[in-house]
């Protein structure tokens, strides 16, 4: 019989060489700017949604662009330009090729992004809508949310409404999180009490989570967060068809849409077109 010595610690699957961290750089910090093309003195609601569930925000009627959020990396590009100038002074063909590839990678990973801000007027109710993409640089979500809350919260008369995907494993399509908007929202929708409150271990991420976090720092925040049952990697979730329709019903009530049926029909057609009749996945 052959006896093998017992190791107190298991051998690691992967080993990281120290050389891998020598050229490592921290993620660049973006500059966030909000510019208005039309003066806004007050608004009833602000709706914030990630691009993965843009069906709900982009289907809202009578929207016009009233501003832009610009996400840029001026320091990153200035450093790139300085390194290019240094290489021109000391020309090397291989170095030039490597630098060109690196510059292309940087600009594709950290592009300058312009995000439109929409304003919709529905009867006596008005709503600003912002649909944000997924950012590779995670810190960008927090900085964008801080700028949004800083500029828009003083304008909000009724409530913020955020839409967020989440892997709900409780056989529910929709959950909610509320801060100081309960009684106000109840006036607009009879479905308020029927929507369960989000409970641990469920959580939200991305821009919606960042906005909720920033509103927690505001005195007397007003928030309704609708959490949709979804599946997939964070930032690239695919929301359940029923969750999208249910969220559309609640959102139409809350915003007081004059033609809610047309809004729901638009959502239903978009869901059938892009998500099919069912998106319950089977993994082999």
Query: Do 89 and 209 belong together in one domain?
Result: no
**Domains identified in the chain, total number:** 2
| Per-residue pLDDT, 230 | 93
Q: List the chain residues with pLDDT less than 50.
A: 19-21, 86, 280-284
Residue 282 forms part of a structural domain: no
Query: Do 182 and 54 belong together in one domain?
Result: yes
Read off φ and ψ for residue 231, nearest 5 degrees: -145, 155
Maximum C-alpha span of the chain: 86
Return d(Cα 283, Cα 92) in angstroms, integer: 51
| Per-residue pLDDT, 282 | 38
Query: Do 180 and 96 belong together in one domain?
Result: no
The contacts of residue 202 (CB under 8 Å, 6+ apart) are: 166, 167, 168, 169, 170, 175, 227
Query: Do 175 and 91 belong together in one domain?
Result: no
Residue 150 forms part of a structural domain: yes
Residue 178 forms part of a structural domain: yes
Q: Are the CB atoms for 195 and 175 separated by under 8 Å?
A: yes
| Per-residue pLDDT, 184 | 65
Residue 51 forms part of a structural domain: yes
Residue 3 forms part of a structural domain: no
Instruction: Record the pTM.
Output: 0.80
- Structural domain harbouring 98: 74-109
DSSP 8-class letter at 88: H
Query: Do 167 and 103 belong together in one domain?
Result: no
Residue 270 forms part of a structural domain: yes
Query: Do 78 and 68 belong together in one domain?
Result: no
Residue 64 forms part of a structural domain: yes
Neighbouring C-beta atoms of residue 32, cutoff 10 Å: 17
| Per-residue pLDDT, 281 | 45
| Per-residue pLDDT, 98 | 62
Q: Which of these three, 109, 132, 163, is where a domain ends? A: 109
């Amino acid at each position: 019989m052959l006896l093998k010595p017992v190791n107190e610690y298991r051998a690691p699957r992967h080993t990281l060489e120290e050389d891998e961290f020598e050229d490592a750089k921290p993620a660049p910090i973006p500059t966030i700017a909000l510019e208005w093309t039309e003066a806004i003195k007050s608004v009833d609601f602000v709706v914030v949604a990630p691009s993965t569930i843009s069906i709900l925000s982009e289907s809202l009627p009578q929207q016009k662009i009233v501003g832009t959020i610009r996400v840029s990396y001026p320091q990153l590009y200035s450093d790139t330009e300085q390194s290019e100038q240094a290489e021109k002074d000391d020309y090397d063909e291989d170095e030039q090729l490597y630098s060109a590839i690196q510059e292309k990678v940087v600009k594709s990973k950290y592009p300058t992004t312009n995000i439109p801000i929409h304003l919709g007027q529905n009867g006596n109710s008005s709503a600003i809508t912002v649909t944000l993409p997924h950012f590779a640089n995670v810190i960008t979500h927090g900085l964008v949310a801080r700028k949004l809350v800083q500029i828009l919260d003083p304008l909000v008369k009724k409530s913020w409404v955020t839409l967020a995907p989440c892997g709900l494993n409780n056989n529910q399509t929709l959950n909610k999180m509320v801060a100081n908007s309960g009684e106000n929202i109840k006036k607009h929708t009879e479905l308020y009490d029927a929507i369960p409150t989000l409970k641990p271990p469920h959580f939200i991420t991305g821009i919606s989570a960042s906005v909720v976090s920033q509103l927690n720092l505001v005195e007397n925040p007003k928030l309704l967060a609708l959490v949709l049952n979804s599946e997939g990697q964070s930032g690239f979730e695919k929301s359940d068809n029923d969750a999208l329709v249910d969220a559309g019903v609640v959102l139409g009530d809350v915003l007081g849409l004059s033609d809610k049926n047309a809004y729901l029909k638009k959502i239903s057609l978009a869901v059938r077109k892009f998500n099919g009749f069912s998106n319950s996945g089977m993994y082999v």
